[in-house]
Amino acid sequence: MKRRSTNNILLALTALIWGSAFVAQSVGMDYLGPFTFNSVRSFLGGAVLLPVIFFMRRQREKSGEEKAAAGDRKTLVIGGICCGTALAAASSLQQIGLVYTSAGKAGFITALYILIVPVLGLFFGRRAGIKVWIGVALAVAGMYFLCITDGFSISKGDFLVFLCAVIFSVHILVIDHFAPKVDGVSLSCLQFFVCGILCAVPMLAQEQPQFGEILAAWMPLAYAGVLSCGVAYTLQVIAQKNTDPTVASLLLSLESVFSVLTGWVILGERLSGRELFGCALVFAAVVLAQIPGKQPAPNDLPTG
C-alpha cells in the first residue's frame, strides 16, 4: 500500500512536470524559433536518459538477464525512427502553435490525443466503448467553448495544436506497437535523438540560431529537455510498474489541468468563463476516456 501511494505521487509529479512544460515552451519562444527549441530540447532529453540506460543495463547484467538479441536491436532502431519522426512532427506543430495561443489552452487541446487514439484505433480493428464516444462528444463541446470565437472561427494556434494532438495520437499508437518488444527507456532515448536530428534540419535552414540565443534560453530548455523529456518519462516508467493502470491514466491526465494552473500562476494568463467551461468539459472527457472497459490496455497510456 505504501509503495502504491508513492507511485501515485510520482505519477502526479510526472503530470505536473509535463503540464508546466507548456509554460517553459511558451517562454522559450521569446528566445528561439520552434525548431531550434525542439531540437535542443530533444537532444537534452536523450542525453539525460543515456546514464539511466547504462545503469539499468548494469543492473540487468548483475541479475543474470540475457543481453538483447540482434533482432531486438533492429526492432529498437526501427521503433526509435518511427516514434522520433512522429514526435518531431507533433512537437513542432505544438511549438509553432504556442506562438499564437496560450499555454493553458494548448495543454487542454493537446490532451485530446487520449480521445483521438481510440478513434484512430477503429481503422486497425480496435473497437471503442460507449464511454469513449461519450467522451468524444464532451470533447467536441469543450473545444467549441474553448477555441471557437463569437465569429465561429478557430485561431491559427488552436488549429496547429489540434493537429499536434492528432499526430501525438499516431505517436502513441506507434509506441503501443513497439514498446512491448523493446526496452522502453532505450526506445524513448532513441526517439528523442531522432526528433532532435529531424528538427535540426529546418532549424539550420530557416532559423540559423546563434549560440548566445540558445544560452539565453537555457532555463526553459533545461526544464523542457531535462525534466519534461528525461526525468518525467523515467518517473512514469518506474511508477507504473506497481500502479493500477486506471489510476495511472487518471493521474497522468492531470497534465492538462497543470498546464492551465501554471500558465495562470507563472505567465499571468487569464481564461474567460466560457473558456474555463470548455476546459472543464475537455477534462471531463479526458477522465472518462481513461476509465477502461473489461480489458484495459496499459500501453495506450500517454508518454509526454
Contact 40, 214 (CB under 8 A): yes
pLDDT at 195: 94
**Angle subtended by helix axes 273-290 and 130-147, to nearest 10:** 160
Distance (Å, whole) CA 151 – CA 18: 32
Amino acid at 244: D
Closest by CA to 79, choosing from 187, 196, 234, 229, is 187
- Per-residue cell: 10: 510520482
pLDDT at 185: 85
Torsion sign across C-alpha atoms 50, 262, 28, 94: positive
Amino acid at 99: V
pLDDT at 243: 62
pLDDT at 303: 46
- Per-residue cell: 123: 481503422
Give the pLDDT of the chain (304 residues) as one tens digit per residue.
Answer: 566 678 778 888 888 898 888 788 778 888 888 899 999 999 999 999 998 888 888 877 776 665 655 558 889 999 999 999 999 999 899 888 888 887 777 877 887 777 787 778 778 777 767 877 787 788 778 877 776 666 667 788 889 999 998 998 888 888 878 877 888 888 889 999 999 999 999 999 988 888 898 999 899 999 889 988 888 877 876 776 666 554 566 677 777 778 777 777 777 777 788 878 887 887 787 777 666 555 544 444 444 4
pLDDT at 88: 93
Closest by CA to 231, choosing from 42, 24, 45, 38, is 45
pLDDT at 64: 63
Distance (Å, whole) CA 175 – CA 147: 29
Start-to-end CA span in the chain (Å): 27
- Per-residue cell: 277: 467551461
Q: What is the pTM of this model?
A: 0.76
Contact 38, 174 (CB under 8 A): no
Report angle CA 152, 153, 158 to the nearest 5 degrees.
135
* Phi, psi (deg, nearest 5) at residue 148: -80, 125
CB-based burial of residue 25 (10 Å sphere; 0-12 exposed, 13-18 middle, 19+ buried)?
buried
Domain boundaries, the chain: 2-299
3-state secondary structure string across the chain: CHHHHHHHHHHHHHHHHHHHHHHHHHHHCCCCCHHHHHHHHHHHHHHHHHHHHHHHHHHHHHCCCCCCCHHHHHHHHHHHHHHHHHHHHHHHHHHHHCCCCCHHHHHHHHCCHHHHHHHHHHHHCCCCCHHHHHHHHHHHHHHHHHHECCCCCECHHHHHHHHHHHHHHHHHHHHHHHHHHCCHHHHHHHHHHHHHHHHHHHHHHHHCCCHHHHHHCHHHHHHHHHHHHHHHHHHHHHHHHHCCHHHHHHHHCCHHHHHHHHHHHHCCCCCCHHHHHHHHHHHHHHHHHHCCCCCCCHHHCCCC
